[in-house]
């Protein structure tokens, strides 16, 4: 299958090139030339395990990858998850289910893609004839950074440099990143927010002078953010798996439609659900849940995307985003795959900080999506009430989604809420929600949560306390490339 740029000025690429390059040369995002039809394959997927389902979904897009080798890579990747189960579905109440995506090595949903991406990237580069060393640049709002670092740790021929917003991630997220092991990794704080990190990294990708300079040093760039289709495609699989698990447990019948509620920041997670629907998965509504940074809610209601607003640092930091990059892929589909129109909107966003879609496009989007947002106090109240009612502890991002479900969801329709992180990654906020106590130290808060909830502290959290902090560098947002150069020079 070929991949096209959403902005239309880069030539079509095969899957290997699209994944190895990460971002199109015109600044656009790679999208598949068509969506595979899985409507007749659902029944045959019922008896498959998760790795088999994932390999089938991924191979339908990456058809030049050897299917047996891809299946082997999926089995190896998902063996790293607790009980080798990357995406279990938990029944909470009648018609309400939680898809737990936090059982991987770094306790966040990003692991589902970032345990398999190193294989996809390395294989893609080899098949594309790329012999240079690959430098993976990552902007993170918290979870992607650690998952990417762990996935690419000591990977052959690959180095990785992660940029996170100082003060814009939780204490545990920062500790996870800054204690990362591996000889090929680097972590840098950026004085700004996630959008500043993401903008800086995108500028490096699109700067021809920088790319030429790196090429002379035997280095090519790639991305582990969801702007890379190789990050996005494994996420499509867990929508299929959740649906099939509900059929298998006789909660629904094959062909019944279900809704999904997705805590949303950069729009990659929910876009994967939209792609699954385009492939024939019986999805009703995709409900986009935002925190106080509610730029997406406004967009889905009004048709205007406007990033010119106050930025809030919230208790759900991985969603503290005002420029949702993957929305560009949805705009491309909404405009009838009109690359010129998509490019115009993205240029308007870059220059003016906003763009509009037509009434026809807005009507089309509202048939597929609903959107809502949750204030800070509502998020904390949701954690408390849900724990009291069901004995289940939500993290701060899943609480946003659950609150939006309670306000917008159809209680008569089976609905799956995506849970994106283990709550011990945000112990101070969750402890405050459940007990009202303000505790500054993350590890002390975790111990207190253990007593309150009787939920074991994952080893990936408890072991952080005694790990050495390796990375302490912080830079201004206009000095990100300088940090990249220092990393390259130090490592070479």
pLDDT of residue 492: 44
Separation between Cα atoms, residue 52 and residue 364, nearest integer Å: 33
Q: Name the nearest CA neighbour of 285 among 367, 404, 399.
A: 367
* C-beta separation of 288 from 370 below 8 A: yes
Q: What percent of the chain has pLDDT over 70?
A: 100
Which of the following is catalytic: 110, 159, 277, 425? 110
pLDDT tens for each residue of 102-111: 999 999 999 9
Mean per-residue pLDDT of the chain = 96
Residues 6+ apart with CB under 8 A from 138: 144, 145, 148, 160, 161, 162, 163, 201, 223, 224, 225
Q: Residue 489's pLDDT band (boundaries 50, 70, 90)?
A: confident
Domain range annotation of the chain: 86-106+230-457
Q: Which residue has the higher pLDDT, 41 or 489?
A: 41
**In whole angstroms, how far apart are CA 152 and each of 40, 110, 116, 233?**
36, 13, 10, 18
Whether the pTM exceeds 0.85: the reply is yes
CB atoms within 10 A of CB 218: 10
For the cut 70, the answer to whether the pLDDT of residue 491 exceeds it is no
The two tokens of residue 145 are 């950074």
* Predicted confidence (pLDDT) per residue in 449-478, tens digit: 999 999 999 999 999 999 999 999 999 999
Under 8 Å between Cβ of 310 and 339: no
Residue 304 pLDDT greater than 70, yes or no: yes
Which sign does the torsion angle of CA 150, 200, 227, 261 carry? Answer: positive
Q: Which among 372, 385, 371, 336 is positioned nearest to 357, based on CA atoms?
A: 336
The strand pair at 30-32 and 185-191 is best described as unpaired
Q: Write out pLDDT tens, residues 259-286.
A: 999 999 999 999 999 999 999 999 999 9
SS3 content of the chain, % helix, strand, coil (to 5): 50, 15, 35
110 is annotated as an active-site residue: yes
Residue 33 CA to residue 62 CA, distance in Å, equals: 12
> Tell me, which fold does domain 86-106+230-457 have in CATH?
Rossmann fold (3.40.50)
């Amino acid at each position: 299958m070929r991949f096209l740029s959403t902005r239309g000025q880069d030539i079509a690429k095969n899957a290997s090139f699209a994944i190895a390059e990460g971002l199109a040369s015109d600044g656009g995002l790679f999208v598949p030339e068509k969506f595979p039809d899985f409507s007749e394959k659902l029944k045959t997927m019922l008896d498959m395990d998760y790795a088999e389902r994932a390999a089938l979904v991924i191979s339908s897009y990456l058809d030049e990858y050897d299917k047996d080798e891809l299946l082997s890579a999926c089995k190896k990747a998902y063996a790293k998850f607790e009980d080798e189960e990357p995406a279990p579905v938990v029944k909470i109440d009648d018609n309400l289910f939680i898809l737990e995506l936090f059982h991987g090595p770094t306790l966040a949903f990003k692991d589902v893609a970032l345990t398999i991406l190193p294989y996809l990237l390395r294989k893609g580069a080899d098949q594309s004839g790329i012999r240079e060393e690959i430098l993976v640049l990552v902007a993170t709002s918290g979870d992607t950074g650690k998952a990417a670092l762990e996935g690419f740790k000591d990977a052959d021929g690959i180095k990785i440099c992660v940029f996170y917003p100082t003060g814009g991630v939780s204490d545990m997220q920062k500790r996870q990143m800054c204690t990362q092991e591996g000889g090929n990794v680097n972590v840098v704080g950026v004085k700004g927010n996630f959008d500043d990190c993401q903008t800086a990294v995108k500028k490096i990708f699109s700067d021809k002078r920088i790319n030429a300079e790196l090429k002379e040093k035997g280095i090519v760039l790639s991305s582990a953010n969801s702007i890379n289709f190789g990050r996005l495609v494994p996420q499509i699989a867990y929508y299929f798996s959740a649906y099939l698990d509900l059929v298998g447990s006789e909660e629904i019948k094959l062909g019944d439609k279900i809704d999904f509620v997705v805590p949303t920041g950069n729009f990659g997670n929910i876009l994967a659900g939209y792609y699954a629907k385009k492939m024939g998965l019986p999805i009703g509504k995709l409900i986009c849940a935002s925190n106080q940074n509610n730029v997406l809610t406004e967009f889905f209601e009004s048709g205007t995307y406007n990033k010119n607003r106050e930025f809030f640092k919230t208790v759900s930091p991985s969603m503290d985003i005002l420029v949702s990059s993957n929305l560009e892929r949805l705009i491309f589909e909404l405009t009838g795959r009109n690359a010129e129109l998509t490019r115009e909107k993205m240029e308007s966003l870059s220059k003016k900080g906003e763009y509009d879609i037509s009434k026809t496009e807005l009507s089309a989007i509202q048939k597929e999506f609903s959107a809502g947002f949750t204030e800070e106090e509502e998020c904390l109240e949701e954690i408390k009430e849900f724990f009291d009612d069901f004995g289940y502890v939500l993290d701060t991002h899943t609480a946003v989604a659950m609150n939006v479900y309670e306000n917008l969801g159809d209680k008569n329709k089976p609905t799956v809420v995506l849970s994106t992180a283990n709550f011990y990654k945000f112990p101070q906020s969750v402890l405050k929600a459940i007990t009202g106590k303000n505790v500054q130290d993350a590890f002390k808060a975790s111990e207190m949560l253990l007593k309150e909830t009787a939920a074991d502290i994952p080893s990936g959290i408890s072991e952080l306390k005694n790990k050495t902090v390796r990375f302490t560098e912080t830079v201004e947002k206009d000095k990100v490339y300088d940090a990249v150069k220092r990393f390259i020079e130090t490592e070479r």
